[in-house]
Amino acid sequence: MTMLRQATKVGLPFMNLVRFKGLPILEQLHLEEKLLRTSSDNWCIVNDGTNAPAIVMGISGKPSELIEIGPVLRDHVPVIKRFSGGGTVIVDSGTIFVTLICNKDVVPGVQPYPRSIMSWSGLLYSEVFQGIDGFQLRENDYVFGDHKFGGNAQSIIKSRWIHHTSFLWDYDSRNMAYLKLPARAPKYRSARNHAEFVCRMKEYMPRSIFIERTMKALESHFSVKPVNLDAVVGSHSSGYVHSTRLLSKHELKDAVTTLLESRALSG
């Protein structure tokens, strides 16, 4: 069996695998951005939960349109603007993160365009959720039926791309109140609030089984090599300035002021 598995891996592209448990999401995003822009290898990062709740926005997101700034400031919830596109999420210890960073020609048939990458990732995760009714890729979300449990974001540069996903294995319903209903939302959402729109992956699959199946699915496409954190940080830390950052309280307060001024002018 071992010889057969080794034989089937001949010719598969290499992928480094880094696994964490509870890594702060800001540190994870900084690492991902470094690896995307400074490495020439393929990477998978799996982070089983983050250490504390945080809101993560896409690169073009506007706080005044996407989050309830008053409660966020009152409760000292960190707000992060990441380097990739996509929507706004709140993450915590119940979120499982899976990130794929690849050279543009590494996966046969996948072009460095959002739709092509998304379609391939949907096939990859269909292997993970095989046997579970209702799983599908729907308008760039992973869903069971019409309930979202996985949100995706991407960034594509000249020769490489990143596709990262936050899976809602579990969540605190109270945290969803920090997020506004976005003006741009998938049609299948049908203006549902967060509580009606999302679901918990734990109702469909144990946490450890999900990670195990994800690793197995990756091994169908790559020759996966585990790598420790020290090796990753040590070889990709010099002279890089990341764009992912924590928004300051001053920026959030300014967003409220701008919103109020805009309403006053339009009123």
Would the pLDDT of 3 be above 50? no
Q: What is the pTM of this model?
A: 0.90
Report if residue 8 sits inside a domain: no
Q: What are phi and psi of 7, to 5 degrees?
A: -65, -40
pLDDT tens by residue, 116-134: 999 999 999 999 999 999 9
pLDDT at 222: 97
Report if residue 6 sits inside a domain: no
Would the pLDDT of 228 be above 90? no
Would the pLDDT of 1 be above 50? no
Nearest in space to 191 (alpha carbons), one of 128, 146, 255, 226: 146
CA separation for the pair 161, 159 (Å, rounded) = 7
Looking only at the bridges linking them, the beta strands covering 89-91 and 95-103 are: unpaired
CATH code for the domain of 140:
3.30.930.10
User: Given CA atoms 25, 29, 30, 35 in this order, what sign does their dihedral have?
Assistant: positive
What is the three-class DSSP state of 87?
coil
Report if residue 153 sits inside a domain: yes
CA separation for the pair 214, 212 (Å, rounded) = 5
Q: Which amino acid is at 15?
A: M
- Is 176 within 8 Å of 148 (Cβ atoms)? no
According to DSSP, the residues that pair with 161 across neighbouring strands are 102, 156
Q: How confident is the model at residue 65 (pLDDT cuts 50, 70, 90)?
A: very high
CA separation for the pair 99, 18 (Å, rounded) = 10
Q: Which amino acid is at 187?
A: K
CA separation for the pair 142, 152 (Å, rounded) = 8
pLDDT tens by residue, 150-160: 999 999 999 99
- Is 144 within 8 Å of 151 (Cβ atoms)? no
State the residue range of the domain holding 210: 13-266
Q: Name the percent of the chain lying above pLDDT 90.
A: 81
Q: Into how many domains does the chain fold?
A: 1
pLDDT at 77: 97
